[in-house]
Every structure is written in structure tokens, then in C-alpha cells.
Structure 1
Amino acid sequence: MTDKEGTGKKRKRHVICMASDFFYPNTGGVEEHIYNLSQCLIKRGHKVIVITHSYGQRHGIRYLTSGLKVYYLPIRVFYAQCVLPTMICNIALIRYILLRECIEIVHGHSAFSVLGHEVSVIAKLLGLKTVFTDHSLFGFADTSAVLTNKYLQVCLCECDHCICVSHIGKENTVLRANVKAHKVSVIPNAVDAYSFSPDPSKRDPNVITIVIVSRLVYRKGVDLMAAVIAEMCPRHPKLRFIIGGDGPKMWLLQEVREKLGLQDCVTLLGSLKHSEVRTVLVKGDIFLNTSLTEAYCMAIVEAASCGLKVVSTKVGGIPEVLPESMIYLTDPNVGSLMIGIEKAMKDIQQGNILCPFECNLKVRKMYNWMDVTRRTEIVYNKIMKNKNKCLGEQLRSYLTCGVWPFLLVISLMYLLLQLCEKIHKRKHIDIAKDLKL
């Protein structure tokens, strides 16, 4: 495959499997990352497929833009859009897909994705290369964090390379998963700045509109969001809030709006398709992010690309994302957020703001998916040089995690793969025939 960028060098064509519980029609940063990275890899000549679980009536094989092939496996969701971590129940089906598609690299996404880890472990037992991208930060103290971190450590001990979306995310992953720092690269997310373009004509000049687009969960700081709305609306009569997104904390915003009679000031749009986000963003002057933890935050980049002033809590990797001229960073408390919003409002009223189209050009230069793809290709080329380990060497690696029962799980998975080889040998897998799920 020749390089179209005029360097004269030949690029190796890879066959890649993106694996995660989180993919379209579900919406979120992980889903968008997988889709856009896959599309750019296909444009650069690679073959890419996606493995995820079924969503409602969507199961079997579907084809998306540019011929992206998606396997919606008939596996039921257990909790929070993730499957049950059985490790062995789907081994025959996953093996068949990996061999049938002639996969070389399995790229798992999200620490919370059970399916992504399961496909990666099976891939290592088949002698394939594996990459993992961590999209989030996680704690160390509570019981769920301890269990999740130990599970992540076990699943990543044989991973060829890890990718994090921010430097603070890299530090977090290295600590909680006990991964060697030289095996972790930082490749940020990106945004399609051409799709998220400004349109100042959509703004209401008589009021200042604050837009919030977020999943309404505790981690996104919905409690702070509700408290800020309750304080700011009575103080500033010409302030309006437009909130897009849904989640278990929606009731809190509805309660604040009803109790304080803010129906004219606060608009709740509910769940949005990703294609509808830009239409909402261009109506605003300020974008508010109240996250309590965040590895990167795609939403603030999309808002900046649309020319909005961004007010955000300075948690996790957020301070790394945008320059100071495009964002007001605050502490994660109500008082600090209110100061940040009022400062942004004052700058807007005095005209001390960047041109929306200039903001879009800056974001276009800082973050684009082709740059992310090229950097990911470097990781793929690097891991293809790694030597495969035999079962004994892999078991010794898993032993270092201190979870001895997992050695039995890996051994059982290996035996099941050998049984599958006897029943359905690799040479009998017809890669020219569509798989019937």
C-alpha cells in the first residue's frame, strides 16, 4: 500500500478489529471515537471491523459508512450496557469471527467494556496482537474501584500496548492497572471541526444562553449543575439554559425547574442524537461542563469548535484540552462555577471574545481524526514487531497479577480454543461466506 502523502514510503496494511460494549446506536465519546478512528483507518487503506453486543433488535451483521462491518453479537446486556464477564461462553463465536476476518490486531476500548477485554484475551491466546485504549479516569478507594482496577490489571498484563487520551489519564492507567509506562502512549481524541462549525445567526441577541450537553449522571456533576441553575437564574433574568442529554439524574433538574418556576429559563431537551448536537450548540453563547472526573471531555472541544466560550471544572485531563483563551477553568464547586460563568458573561457583553470562526480554525489545527489515525498507525506498526508468547509465558505474566484463580480461567479458555480447533479447523473457515448470527 503506497503512501498518498508523498513520502515515497510504503505503509503496511493492517486488518483490525475494534472491540467494545459501547458502539452505535448507543451514543457517547467512546462510540464516536471508535467510529471516527475506524473510518479514517479505512480511508488510509486498512481493513476494519467492529465487534459489539446486540442493541435491542439490532443483531447480526450491519454495514456502516465506507463499508465498516459491525458484528452485533447475540449477547444480552448485564449491567450499564456491558455484558456478563463469563470469559468462556462466547469463545467459539469470537474465535470464528477473528479467524474468518483474518484479524491481525484487536483494539479494545474502555476500561468498563467487558466484551473488549474478553475479545483481547481470546486474541492473545490465538497469537494476535492487542491494543487497548482507556477513555476514562477511575478511583482507587471504594470497593467497585478496587475490583475494576484488579480486573483491568489482569486483562492488560498481556496487552501489547495501551493508549490514553490525556497525560493525566496515562498516569491513572499506569497506577491502577500496574502497566509499564513505556507501554502506554498518549493520543488525544479529536473532533470533526467541519461538522461542528459556528453559526452566530442562531443565537438570541436579547439573552445569554448557556448550553449543557451531557449524560445526566453523578460523574458529570449534575448536582452542581442543578445548584448553579437555582442560583444563577434568579440573579440574572436574561440568562437561559438549554440542557441536552438524559440519565438517572434527570429528575433533579426537573425538580429544580418545577419548584423555582424556571420553565421559561430552563429547556430540557432529553436524549439527543449525535447529529443533533451541533444544532443545539450553535444556539448558545456559553458551554458549561460540571464534570467531577474526566479524562478528556469531547463535549468541550465540540463546543469550542462551534465558537462557544467554555466554562468547565478543572478536573482530570480537562486543563490539557483547550488553551486559556478558549476556556474558563473553575474548581468543582458552586461558587467557583458561578464566578466562571459571570466572568464569561461579562466578556461576552464587553465583546472581549474570539471570533467564532477563529475558534473553529484553532480547533481544526489542534485536533483532527487523521492525525489521531496516523499516530495510532505508529502503535500498530510497533506492536507487529512483538514476538508471540507461548501459553506458559502468558500464564507467568498473569501470575504476576496475584489472581491465581484466573490462571484456571485462562487454561480453560485455551483448552476450549483447542477443542474448537478440532471441531472447526482454521482451514475450514470460509472467509468468503457471510456469517449467520
Structure 2
Amino acid sequence: MVCDYFFPQPGGVESHMYQLSTKLIDRGHKVIIITHAYDERTGIRYLTNGLKVYHVPFLVLYRASTFPTVFSFFPMFRNIVIREEIEIVHGHASLSSLCHEAILHARTMGLRTVFTDHSLFGFADAGSILTNKLLKFTLSDVDHVVCVSHTCKENTVLRASLDPLMVSVIPNAVVAENFRPINHPSYPLETLDKPMTQRALGPHDTITIVVISRLFYNKGTDLLVAAIPRILAAHPHVKFIIAGSGPKAIDLEQMLERNVLQDRVAMLGPIRHEEVRDVMVRGHIYLHPSLTEAFGTVLVEAASCGLYVVCTQVGGIPEVLPAHMTVFAKPEEDDLVAATGRAITKLRKNQVRTEDFHDQVKKMYSWTDVAARTERVYDGISGVLSDAEFYGYDAADAASWSATRGRAGVQSFALIDRLKRYYGCGIWAGKLFCLCAVIDYILFLLLELWAPRDQIDIARNWPKKIIQEQPAKERMSRRDG
């Protein structure tokens, strides 16, 4: 797994990589993660379940993304891949420089590659145009692509000019046991106050609205700044809890000072992922004003904690939760205020059974299922599954499919075949991409001569626990003792 975004930074991509990796390890695979250094967290770290993380010391440019160098990452990446005997490189996130560089180098080394897209991008602004061109370069020579929602799949197929058969939809999930409501049977001795959504709320009972998000423009922080004063003015017995950090935090603080709302809005600042549940259970409603979202894992976490979700109807958000758990709003100030008001009214009239949300979410989302579906992608690109079985085409289409795509979705690792795919990425960009591929291949040959594979030590695998079943009499004696 390769991505710029990983723990200790909180976020959906970070959680996705960690949970998916641990579940793949449980299924018998060896998984390592490559990311950049975070503050003092450098070198090699071991996480739960023997998950090894390589924190490479690269310069961070913007929003935890490293400075793109294209080639300088190759020697270190090659050394790691050979040391760990890696067979598949799985990159995450369109804006991750390490991800794109790793996929390029992996294809040069003859490794299978997978890319997971977690975001939605437009087609008109300068940033999106550059990102889409880079994505087209990377995905023109990738084995398979995974998207976290059907909306995300449509967006990625259009941005990178992909065959839809080359893209699978595997959503995010949640560890439901870590996001249980206070009043859940598994918490019989909980000391905190129980949320009042489990009974009919009176007109003077306080309703708490929770917001946990990175405070950036695309997360709808400007909408939040405009909507909070109007929501609090219309509903005197409502309070807000806001957790998160970002450049828009100053706008929220200025809004609170202008409207003198410090006693009704608590700003917690950045919180760790393991603290999210403790913040969520203090509320009744979760407000998510995002302007663009491919999936929104935090919505699943909020519903699992027994919160009624108010969210904007953008991107892949409508696919995440069933209608009875959510109130949708347009990404506009007036509609967001109105939708929040409807949610408050429903809770006061006891029209929503939020106490049932946790068990329903637990049945809908599972990281074990996500890992099994991802494993099937690995089997498909590795040749364990036949093309017809993996891609789902009819026998009549086999000849045309093999002629255009070849085994496992790409033609071959041969440099000439890769150059043909890169050349079709644009009049000028195609030539530039071919030049990058040629330089990368020359660098690979030089590294093979300068640092031969047989001189690179192979890393020892993390020892697995072997749990032996105890005899029934021994178990009974220990229990009785």
C-alpha cells in the first residue's frame, strides 16, 4: 500500500488503508505500507497485527502531499519492494505523489498494480485539469482501478478515459464495535449521560449537533459558517460541537466572536481517530456540509453511533446510508438550514428510531467483506481468476477483449507496449509521458547494475501467532478455577 496520507494524520483514506491492510493480513497476506515521515515519526514502525509502515523522509509540499520528484523515489522504492518480496503495489488517492510514482516504478519493475480513487474532481478548473492529466498518465498502465462509490467510478472513468470494466466499486466500511452508542447493550455500565434521542425530546430539551471534519473549503466550512448562526437563532435549545482543524478554522472563530456564540458552540480542535466515537455520542445530529465527497466514511461512523445524519446531496453521499437515517440538503445555505430544522423537528417528535442505527450499519458495512472483495481484484490481475470470470464478459467477446486489453487487463510489461499506451494520452503530454517511462526504465537498469538484487537483504516476516485449540476438559478446569 502506497499513499502520502496515513496515520498519525486522521482521515478517511488513512483509516481505509489501515483497516484494509489489517484484514488482508488476517486473510494470510503480507502487507506493508509506504508513506512519508510525519514530524518525528520516521523510519520503520510496526502497528497492530504486524503491519509494517515505512515512513520515507520526503519533503511535504501541501496538505500532507510530498513534493513530486518522479525519479528520486525509485532507488528507495526498489529497495523496499525487493526487501519485502512485494508482488502487488496498491496506490491510494489521486493527489498523492508517492502513489503515482510508486505505480510508475512498479510497472517498470514488472509488478502488478492497483489504484484506489477516494475523491471526486471536476473538469474545468486548472487544478482538476492537471490532476486529471496526471491520473490519465498513471492509469493508462495500471492493472485495475477501485473506486469507493458508483459516482466515484463514473467520475474516474471520465477523467482517466478508462474502460468501465477495468474499474470495480468497493465501498469503505466501519468497525462497528468501535462506534457503539452509549445506550447499546454492550455498554451497560457507561458513565456518560445517555443521548436523549432514545426518548421523546421535549421542547426545552437541548439537542446537540456534531461536526467532525477537516476545515477546508471543499468540506463545506463556508456553508457551516453561514448556517450556524441561523440554526441557533431559529432553535434556542440547540448546541454545536465542532472537531477538526484546517485553514478555515479562523473563519469559524471569527463567526463565533461576531455573533457571541461561544457558549453554544464548542470548538475542540484536532482530535485523534480513536476519540471520534467519544465526541459523536455527545450529540444527537451529525451535520456534514461537504461540497464534494466520493463516499464519506464519517457518515457511517455517525450513524453507527446512533446519530441522525444531515448531509449535502453531492457525489457519492446518497449511496452511503438508507433514507431513514439521513436528511439531504442541497449544497446551499438556505437548504442546509431548512434540512437541519427538519431533522430537529423529527427528533423532538420521536419520528426517528436512532437506537436501531448501530445494528443496521453493522450488517451493511464490514471491513472483512471489503478485504475479500479487494482480494478478488488481486486474484484477477494475478491470473488466479480467468479473464471471463473476473471481468464478467461473455465467451463471444473474449477474442475482442484479448485483442484490445490482453491478460489481466493490460497487454504486457514490455517497454514498447507501455509506450504505446502512454503515447495516446495527448499530443504533447503523450510524448512527455513516454520520455518519463524511458528514463524510468534506464534508471531501473542502472539500479540493477549498481545495487544487484542478490546484495539486498530479505526482510524477515512478522511471526504469526498460532492459536492451538485447548482440550475441552482443560478449558472447563480453567473456567471453573
Pairwise same-fold verdict (TM > 0.5):
yes
Q: Does 1:413 align with 2:411?
A: no
- Partner of residue 358, structure 2: 360
- Partner of residue 37, structure 1: 20
- Name which of 380, 383, 386 aligns with 1:382: 380
**Helix, strand or coil for the counterpart of 2:114?**
strand
**What one-letter code is carried by the residue in structure 2 that aligns with 1:148?**
T
- Partner of residue 307, structure 1: 306
CA distance in 2, matches of 1:227, 1:355: 28
- Name which of 92, 101, 110 aligns with 2:84: 101
Q: Does 1:120 align with 2:86?
A: no
Distance 1:37 1:71, change over 3 A: same
**Helix, strand or coil for the counterpart of 2:245?**
coil
Q: Does 1:428 align with 2:447?
A: no
Aligned residues: 416
Using the TM superposition, give the Cα deviation of residue 380 of structure 1 relative to its aligned residue in structure 2, in angstroms. Answer: 0.4
Q: Does 1:203 align with 2:203?
A: no
Residue deviations 1:40-59 (CA, integer Å, cap 9, x gap)? 00011100000011111211
Using the TM superposition, give the Cα deviation of residue 389 of structure 1 relative to its aligned residue in structure 2, in angstroms. Answer: 2.1
Q: Does 1:69 align with 2:52?
A: yes
Q: Does 1:397 align with 2:421?
A: yes
Residue deviations 1:43-89 (CA, integer Å, cap 9, x gap)? 11100000011111211111000110001011111222111221111
CA distance in 2, matches of 1:187, 1:75: 30
CA distance in 2, matches of 1:135, 1:401: 22
- Partner of residue 371, structure 1: 369
Using the TM superposition, give the Cα deviation of residue 433 of structure 1 relative to its aligned residue in structure 2, in angstroms. Answer: 7.0
Equivalent residues in 2 for 1:218-367, closer than 5 Å: 218-356=217-355, 358-367=356-365
**What one-letter code is carried by the residue in structure 2 that aligns with 1:364?**
K
Using the TM superposition, give the Cα deviation of residue 237 of structure 1 relative to its aligned residue in structure 2, in angstroms. Answer: 1.2
**Helix, strand or coil for the counterpart of 1:268?**
strand
Using the TM superposition, give the Cα deviation of residue 427 of structure 1 relative to its aligned residue in structure 2, in angstroms. Answer: 2.2
Contact 2:231 2:340 in 1 (8 A): no
Gaps of 5+ in 1: 1-17
- Partner of residue 24, structure 1: 7
Percent identical pairs in the alignment equals: 49
Using the size of structure 2 for normalisation, the TM-score is 0.85
CA distance in 1, matches of 2:243, 2:152: 26
Equivalent residues in 2 for 1:161-200, closer than 5 Å: 161-200=144-183
CA distance in 1, matches of 2:251, 2:365: 34
Residue deviations 1:67-112 (CA, integer Å, cap 9, x gap)? 1000101111122211122111121111111111110100000001
**Helix, strand or coil for the counterpart of 1:47?**
coil
Greater shift after overlay, 339-348 or 213-222?
Answer: 339-348
Contact 2:149 2:319 in 1 (8 A): yes
- Partner of residue 11, structure 1: none
Gaps of 5+ in 2: 184-192, 384-407, 462-481
CA distance in 2, matches of 1:355, 1:128: 47
Q: Which has the larger radius of gyration?
A: 2
CA distance in 1, matches of 2:370, 2:59: 32
Greater shift after overlay, 168-177 or 329-338?
Answer: 329-338
Contact 2:91 2:100 in 1 (8 A): yes
**Helix, strand or coil for the counterpart of 2:175?**
coil
